Structure formats: structure tokens, C-alpha cells
Structure 1
């Protein structure tokens, strides 16, 4: 299916959530709401929204955005800088839309994002080897003003940790707007608010999507960016970078006291995606994780363990549902 428009309003707000306790999606698609071509402008009450913002003629060979995603990533073993031993990790992520309500140019819908991360270390330390869980549920409102303008907001409760505790929960919100500068360029700006793990802050942000040719797309949607090329109707190639900084709360155990574990990194990767059936695309990627840092604090926000982590290669495999 040809992509005839782009509704990336929440990129400027919702995608900023990736800068902090990160939603684990890896592509532009994961922060973009379900879409439809809205045949003859008809809009159903329930289901994908018909968006007039930045609506395109059939001048792009890129497929629709992925509104569903499942992926697995393995980071190979690498050394700590200031701690003894080494570390590797495995991560699984699932991203699904679960509701869509439409009324004329107003749209309300939700997503579910679940992630599971497990670290393996060669020596005991405060980085738990229990599986760390992330659960996010963004609820998004969009007002599709015109082909030139779109705006909206997001509220997202989240849970991050190894065991159930009131300290595992956080809340974030965002406001953003998009402007269709030209047929091939969309600009976005927004502000993101976060409260959780003893922290509270506001982050402004800006973003863009540029399609210089039918088979090419360049995007900067903080904290992700990249270039996508459509080889043909069945193959996509994507060069991308993504910064993530998830935080998990872990209750006291044999390794140490109640603590918040934060692992930040910048991933640079190359991904090839193949259309296996209709809107279902399978992909395989590889790259390196760099600028990695482990920071562990107690509940009084005092650092009890900190170390850089050496650059490490990773491999990733996933499945997208594109609409």
C-alpha cells in the first residue's frame, strides 16, 4: 500500500519519551498512530483515523507506517570500564495499538508497549540479572486541523522494574504540533513532561520528515533519526540511530538495597526489511551500541555504582505490521 500521508504529530512529544524511561521501539513507525487512506474521505467511528494533514499524492514508493511491532535484540559481551567483569544483554519489545475512536477531525486512540530486558554479568554487582520489565500505555489525542496543520497531546502511565512496587510507576505527558511546510517536508515541535523515580522535568523538542525522492526518506524524530530507502515493492533498507535511557526500580535483594538502575546508550544500526505477506514485514538488523553508561542510585538519589560500558555490537530481528 502506498503511503499517501504522514500523521506524525506525536513525534515531537511522545517520541521524546524515548529520551528518559525509554519506549523500546526502533523505527519512525513506532511513534506514529494508525492511519488509513480514508477512501472518499469516509471516516468510521472506530478504527484507524483518516488524517488530512500532509496528505500525499501517489508520489512516494515507501510503504505505510508500522503500527504494530515485535522485536528481539542481543547485545554481545563487552567490558565495564570501572567495574570488574563484563556484561551482555537480551531485550524483547512488543508494540500494539489497542483502541481508536474518531469524530470528524478529532481522534483518540491508545497503544500498549511491553519490554523485557535481561542482563548477564560475569561477576556479582548491583545490576540485577532478574528480568527487567517495562510497560507503557500512551493515550493520544489528535486534532487534524487541515492539510497544513495538526496538533494534539499524549498522557502515558508507565511501569518499570523487576518486582511490583509503588516506586515502579511514572507518568508523562506531551503536547505537540505539526506543520506541512511543503509536499515533501513536515516539521514538528512539542514539549514533554515526566514525573517518576524521584525526578520531574520538561523537555522541548523539534523534528522533521523529509522525502527528497519517491524512494527516499530522511527523518529526525528525537531520539531517533535515520534514512530509509525503498529498494523495490518488497525490500526496505534503513540506516538509523537511536538514543535510549531506560530506568528500572529494583527492590532490595541479596545483591543490594532498593535501587534505580539506569542504562543509557546510543545505537547505530543498519536494517533490511522484507514484505512477507500483505502488510506484514520481517526485518533483520545489526550495529553497535556506544556511549553506554550504567548508573545505579538508591532511593535517596545517591549513586552507589557507576561505570561506562565499552562499545558492543548487537543483532536484532523483528516483525512489523504496516498500514
Structure 2
């Protein structure tokens, strides 16, 4: 599997949902930029040196909104989101601290529609917040791979306080990530991965509103199969397994109320589990990856299902000859 391409999806910016229900502060949590479910199998592995063009397609739907006790506030929340974009990811032969240097960039577009008995939010298909990862370091050892990264989310999408057609979150975010993929056999076909990411958010554009910091853990347990191709030395690659994610708000949101702030001590959290399968076709140098995850255990946030399709074309290989 082209793990860099799948991991690259995690940098797509979600659209702001705003305050899902300001009349119920316990269910009023602000969202961060990190898109859940994009990093799965071998999330702690950097791909071989090269440059790839990536087109992700992300679909999310949810019907439930839960409070700080995990109780359902409403089960008829009609939320559907669609995100896509175009970007590139690269890994070079340049060594830094013994690791290969790489990075990625994404220009996302998307739309959403939120319908419920509480509020309705509509966002037309529009340009959203740019993601840029200027630093990614990858190490490869006999039994495990390791990954470290630093990324920025730029508030380039439309954002106005109180608007119902925002296409961005209106905040600059700094995200640090680190993880590993552990292999259980000599041929490195059975693996387990975990990638931890921590995002620090600025105040939203032209407001005193601030989203609390987020800790995200993503990965999966899977197996890889290599099949000899009819032409050429590069084999067909199939990767499949179980994937998961979890996210925790580690700092309270700051929402101005009168002369002070509404600080909800009950921070949000969510868990997701599902399946992933990918296929690399060497003849056209393209990877196709499909993923589905069902959410559970939500507190102070919505709960639904995530679907992802990634198409990554290997434009250039930087492998040593």
C-alpha cells in the first residue's frame, strides 16, 4: 500500500460545523482541522523516495449528537459532508538524523449540509483551508518503521463569525505527529501501526473564539500480499486489514460570553473502527485505497460513519539505481 498517500489524507481540512447547539453548552464543542480516518494501515511508515499526485474523496454522514455523558441529544441529525482536493506528497533521498526527508501539500474543496431540529448549516462546494507539511522524517529498521512530522493548516477558506456558509475553520493550526509501524514477520507482511498527532489551534479569524487542542491516534492491523506483475519488476500490492481512530480534546474551547468565556470542562472525544483495502497497479503506477469506519463512544460531539477513497499516481520515483 502507498501509505504516504493514505496518511496524506489526514491533512485535508474539514469544514466548520460551528456550534452544534449553543443552547446546550455540554454539546457545544468546536472542531479542529484534523480529518479523522485518513491514516490507517502502516500509518507509521514513510513511502519509498518519489513524488505522487493524490486525489482524495471523503464522505461523512451522521445522525446522532451526544452530550458529555454519552447520551443521545438527537438521533435525527442529518449531516452529510463531502471533501475532495488535489495535492502532492514527496519523499527524497536527503538524510536528516538518519531519516529520509519528505513533505506534502493539499488544496481542498468540499461542501456540507447540516439539518436537524436544532439548526441548519449549509456550505456550498468551495475552496477550504490549505494544508502544508514542510517536514516529514521517516526511519526504516529491520522490525519497525518510524515517522515524525510537522504541519500547518492555513485559514484560506471563507470564514465569518456566525455565517452559515463557511468553507473553512478560520484558524491557524500547528500539528506535530509521530508514530511507528511494527512488523511481525521477516518479510514485513503482517503489521500494526499507530500514529499520534497533536494540534495547537489559534483564535479564529477576527474573533476571540479558540478551539481546544486535539490529540488524535490512528492506525491499523493488517497484512500485505505481493503478486508478480506480467510486465516489469514492480509487483502488484494488496493491503487489507482492520483500522481505527480516536480523538480527545485536551484543552477547553474558549467561547466569549458577555465579559468572560464559556469554558466547558467536559471535553469531547470519539472512537472509530472499520476496514481498509488497497491495491497498487504497477502498470499504471496508481494506488486505489478504500476505507470505511463506524464511530462509537462519542461525547460532546456528533457520531456517524466515514468513507474514503484515495487515488494516488506515482509521478516520479527517486529510488537509487
Q: For residue 130 of structure 1, what is the aligned residue in structure 2? A: 123
Tell me if 1:273 matches 2:278: yes
Q: For residue 59 of structure 2, what is the aligned residue in structure 1? A: 73
Which stretch shifts more, 313-322 or 266-275? Answer: 313-322
Measured after TM superposition, the shift of residue 21 of structure 1 is: 3.9
Q: For residue 151 of structure 2, what is the aligned residue in structure 1? A: 156
Structure 2 CA distance for partners of 1:236 and 1:106, relative to 1, 3 Å: closer
Counterpart selection for 2:171 from 160, 168, 173: 168
Q: For residue 244 of structure 2, what is the aligned residue in structure 1? A: 241
Partners of 1:144 and 1:84 lie apart in 2 by 45
Q: In the TM superposition, what whole-angstrom CA distance separates every residue of 1:194-239 from its partner, at most 9, and x where no partner exists?
A: 4214467697x9xxxxxxxxxxxxxxxx322232353954654332
Q: For residue 91 of structure 1, what is the aligned residue in structure 2? A: 82
SS in 2 for 1:27: coil
SS in 2 for 1:168: coil
Partners of 1:174 and 1:234 lie apart in 2 by 27
Partners of 2:288 and 2:184 lie apart in 1 by 33
The number of residues matched between the two structures is 247
Partners of 2:181 and 2:309 lie apart in 1 by 31
Counterpart selection for 1:28 from 29, 41, 45: 41
TM-score, scaled relative to structure 1: 0.51
Measured after TM superposition, the shift of residue 282 of structure 1 is: 2.7
Unpaired runs of at least 5, structure 2: 12-30, 67-71, 162-168, 203-209, 228-235, 257-266
Partners of 2:75 and 2:63 lie apart in 1 by 13
Structure 2 CA distance for partners of 1:228 and 1:75, relative to 1, 3 Å: farther
Measured after TM superposition, the shift of residue 142 of structure 1 is: 3.1
Partners of 2:100 and 2:33 lie apart in 1 by 26
Measured after TM superposition, the shift of residue 118 of structure 1 is: 1.9
Which structure 2 residues correspond to residues 303-318 of structure 1 after superposition, within 5 A?
309=302, 312-318=304-310
Measured after TM superposition, the shift of residue 270 of structure 1 is: 2.4
Does the aligned pair in 2 maintain the 1:33–1:67 contact within 8 Å?
A: no
Partners of 1:238 and 1:186 lie apart in 2 by 9
Partners of 1:94 and 1:71 lie apart in 2 by 8
SS in 2 for 1:28: coil
Tell me if 1:289 matches 2:295: yes
TM-score, scaled relative to structure 2: 0.52
Structure 2 CA distance for partners of 1:270 and 1:107, relative to 1, 3 Å: closer
Q: In the TM superposition, what whole-angstrom CA distance separates every residue of 1:37-75 from its partner, at most 9, and x where no partner exists?
A: xxxxxxxxxx56xxxxxxxxxxxxxxxxx9845123242
Measured after TM superposition, the shift of residue 168 of structure 1 is: 0.9
Partners of 2:311 and 2:152 lie apart in 1 by 25
SS in 2 for 1:278: coil
SS in 2 for 1:128: strand
SS in 1 for 2:73: coil
Unpaired runs of at least 5, structure 1: 37-46, 49-65, 206-221, 253-261, 296-308
Q: In the TM superposition, what whole-angstrom CA distance separates every residue of 1:11-31 from its partner, at most 9, and x where no partner exists?
A: 9xx99xxx9642452433666
Partners of 1:99 and 1:111 lie apart in 2 by 6
Does the aligned pair in 2 maintain the 1:149–1:180 contact within 8 Å?
A: yes
RMSD: 5.4
Partners of 2:313 and 2:76 lie apart in 1 by 40
Does the aligned pair in 2 maintain the 1:67–1:96 contact within 8 Å?
A: yes
Structure 2 CA distance for partners of 1:82 and 1:227, relative to 1, 3 Å: same
Measured after TM superposition, the shift of residue 139 of structure 1 is: 2.0
Partners of 2:313 and 2:131 lie apart in 1 by 19
